[in-house]
A and B are shown apart, each in its own frame.
Chain A
Amino acid sequence: MEELLLDPKIRIWVFIPILMLTFLYGLIKHYVTLLIFSERTVDANQIQNSQTLMKSRILRENGKYVPREGFLRRKHYLIDDDGVLKKEQNHGPAPNPMTDPSMVSEMMKGNLMNMVPMLVIGGWINAAFSGFLTTKVPFPLTVRFKPMLQRDIHLTSLDASWVSSTSWYFLNFLGLRSMYSLILGENNSADQSKMMQDQMSGAAMAMPQDPQKAFKSEVEALTLTNHTWALEGVEEELVSARGN
């Protein structure tokens, strides 16, 4: 790997500006998101559904700590034919994300806030800062990476570790997450990965996109769960334990 000496002006005029740009963009995105996004309102039905699912899951996991009768009573309450889970399952298909108007606007706003500015800025950087090397990644890369990372430089003998400004921009974009948590606190909207996590977790408030499927799998799982009382024989354990 040969040592290349880059013009120090590159450092001042390219390296640091891209860093600042990406960082400021993240900050602005956070605050604008706060302004634009409406409070995600959930109605009682959604809450009830998600809580019931959670209840069923707790029953499956920890049902063995209560006596058999309690477990069976709750199990039948949930999965009998007129039980709560079965009822919800038959409620009809989930609102299609494409057609449900409120969800569509949410998705659009989300995409707008995240993708479009990234592409715009990325494109501008590509145009404005092209034709020279910006930095070197500290680990060796294969030749395959060259067209991706050295978009505008046509030197066949150059190591793939030397990258152009576009790739520095992307590196920043993805990597400044921890800086954001330091400065904006845990719950910031500039954090891409959190956004992706949100879509998968289906936490206490939001209902997963496909309630029917969720209920169906809960019903199956619960039907298969049997009850072995975990407290059986605890007196023996207690009385004959070590040193007792």
Chain B
Amino acid sequence: MGFEEARALLRKWRDEKERRSDEVLDVWANILEGKAHRLGDETWLVYEQVFIASLDCNQISTAGDCLRMLIDKFGNTNRVMKLRAMKDEAVGDFEGAVETYERILEKDKNDSASKKRLIAIHKAKNNTRDAIDELVKYLDVFSTDTEAWEELCDLYLLEQDYSKAAFCMEELIMANPHNHVFYQKYAEIKFTEGDGKNMEIARTNFAKAVQLNPGNLRALYGFLLAAANLVSSKDKKNNARYSAWAGQKVVEFYSNHCPQKKEMAKKVVDAILENLKLA
């Protein structure tokens, strides 16, 4: 891969917010490192990107080099200070990191990035409850921050607080009503919560996810299971029909994409549908 291609690739990942830390470091070490001065205006963005990637891969020395370049160029701006604190976090110096973030917050009371990093430190120290409390306070002010809602949902799931996790997913669905993954995750949470209304909601949301993306096998499987679970309750006919359809689709999927596992899939589906007949 040439210099220009590498640079375009990094830019693409930056724009699409893809982390890909391994690959970023690969590209950096093999192609761009010696030639950083040719990057022009993007130089500093690339340094930041490589910095974060090297923290992810525990290459602290590379991170240190990038950080030094950024400090030389920009001094002690909020953004550089945040990177410095992230490096402290990576080596485990949480007190130092907290101090830096609080210093940033003194200068700019509403710097959302620092607030989020402080919450991340709680999470790193396994203080899930504290992280949740702080994140809820954060979301009180910044109520449309999608990334924060996703994080809060995951934290509630760690605590097994399913109803609150479902609430977070609802926020996410409303912010992105055409993202099949959100519907699927919401459906999975509802499925876990239990039977009755929740299972119906789960079934509907799995169906929506499949409608949005027919290739979402997990949602398809969820649809099958949810419908199967509902056969014993009211609306027997429809649910039986749904589960039959879903079972057939699952087997079709395997025969199209993974024929060697098709037999296994067929056995699983048949077992589920057998149970229906007994119910």
Task: Flag if B204 contacts A44 (CB, 8 Å).
Answer: no
Contact indicator per residue, chain B 202-213, by CB within 8 Å of chain A (1) or not (0): 011101101100
Q: Is A66 an interface residue (CB 8 A)?
A: yes
Task: Flag if B110 contacts A62 (CB, 8 Å).
Answer: no
Q: Is B147 an interface residue (CB 8 A)?
A: no
Contact indicator per residue, chain A 181-215, by CB within 8 Å of chain B (1) or not (0): 00000000000000000000000100000000000
Which segment of A103-111, A142-150, A236-244 sits at the interface?
A: A236-244
Q: A47-B110, A239-B241, A244-B245 are in contact. Are A234 and B174 (CB under 8 A)?
A: no
Task: Flag if B170 contacts A66 (CB, 8 Å).
Answer: yes
Task: Flag if B141 contacts A235 (CB, 8 Å).
Answer: no
Nearest chain-A residue to B186 (Cβ)? Answer: A66
Task: Flag if A231 contacts B141 (CB, 8 Å).
Answer: no
Task: Flag if B173 contacts A238 (CB, 8 Å).
Answer: no
A58 CB contacts on chain B under 8 angstroms: 144, 174-175
- Alpha-carbon distance A58/B144, docked complex (angstroms): 9
B205 CB contacts on chain A under 8 angstroms: 231
A239 CB contacts on chain B under 8 angstroms: 241-242, 245
- Summarize B's interface: helix, strand, loop or mixed: helix
Interfacial residues of chain B within 117-156, with CB under 8 A of chain A in the complex: 140-144
Most A Cβ at <10 Å: residue of B140, B204, B210: B204
A52 CB contacts on chain B under 8 angstroms: 143
Minimum Cβ distance to chain B for residue A234 (Å): 5
A54, A62, A235: the one contacting B204 at CB < 8 Å is: A235
Interfacial residues of chain B within 227-247, with CB under 8 A of chain A in the complex: 227, 238, 241-242, 245
A236 CB contacts on chain B under 8 angstroms: 238
Interfacial residues of chain A within 12-42, with CB under 8 A of chain B in the complex: 41-42
Minimum Cβ distance to chain B for residue A77 (Å): 11
Q: Is A140 an interface residue (CB 8 A)?
A: no
Task: Flag if B242 contacts A67 (CB, 8 Å).
Answer: no
Task: Flag if B207 contacts A235 (CB, 8 Å).
Answer: yes
Task: Flag if B109 contacts A238 (CB, 8 Å).
Answer: no
Q: A231-B204, A235-B203 are in contact. Are A43 and B142 (CB under 8 A)?
A: no
- Alpha-carbon distance A54/B109, docked complex (angstroms): 22
Minimum Cβ distance to chain A for residue B183 (Å): 8
Minimum Cβ distance to chain A for residue B206 (Å): 9
- Alpha-carbon distance A67/B174, docked complex (angstroms): 11
B174 CB contacts on chain A under 8 angstroms: 58-59, 62-63, 65-66
Task: Flag if B109 contacts A44 (CB, 8 Å).
Answer: yes
Minimum Cβ distance to chain B for residue A237 (Å): 7
Q: Is A70 an interface residue (CB 8 A)?
A: yes
Interfacial residues of chain A within 208-229, with CB under 8 A of chain B in the complex: none
B167, B177, B211, B238: the one contacting A234 at CB < 8 Å is: B211
Q: Is A126 an interface residue (CB 8 A)?
A: no
B140, B173, B242, B245: the one contacting A66 at CB < 8 Å is: B173
Q: Is A130 an interface residue (CB 8 A)?
A: no
Q: Is A51 an interface residue (CB 8 A)?
A: yes
Contact indicator per residue, chain B 257-274, by CB within 8 Å of chain A (1) or not (0): 000000000000000000
Q: Is B31 an interface residue (CB 8 A)?
A: no
Minimum Cβ distance to chain B for residue A45 (Å): 9
A96 CB contacts on chain B under 8 angstroms: none
Task: Flag if A44 contacts B110 (CB, 8 Å).
Answer: yes
Q: Is A178 an interface residue (CB 8 A)?
A: no
Contact indicator per residue, chain B 187-227, by CB within 8 Å of chain A (1) or not (0): 00000000000000101110110110000000000010001
- Alpha-carbon distance A48/B174, docked complex (angstroms): 19
B245 CB contacts on chain A under 8 angstroms: 239, 244
B208 CB contacts on chain A under 8 angstroms: 231, 234
Minimum Cβ distance to chain A for residue B222 (Å): 12
Q: A48-B140, A70-B167, A238-B207 are in contact. Are A65 and B177 (CB under 8 A)?
A: yes
Minimum Cβ distance to chain A for residue B1 (Å): 28
Task: Flag if B142 contacts A47 (CB, 8 Å).
Answer: yes
Contact indicator per residue, chain A 58-94, by CB within 8 Å of chain B (1) or not (0): 1100110111001000000000000000000000000
12 example contacts (A-B, Cβ-Cβ < 8 A) are as follows A43-B109, A48-B141, A51-B141, A59-B174, A70-B170, A232-B204, A234-B208, A234-B211, A235-B207, A235-B223, A238-B210, A239-B241
**Footprint of A on B, CB under 8 Å?**
108-110, 140-144, 167, 170, 173-175, 177, 201, 203-205, 207-208, 210-211, 223, 227, 238, 241-242, 245, 249
Told that A43-B109, A62-B174, A244-B249 touch, could you supply 17 new A-B pairs with CB distance under 8 A? A41-B108, A47-B142, A48-B140, A51-B142, A54-B143, A58-B174, A62-B177, A65-B174, A65-B177, A66-B173, A231-B205, A234-B211, A235-B203, A235-B204, A235-B242, A238-B207, A239-B245
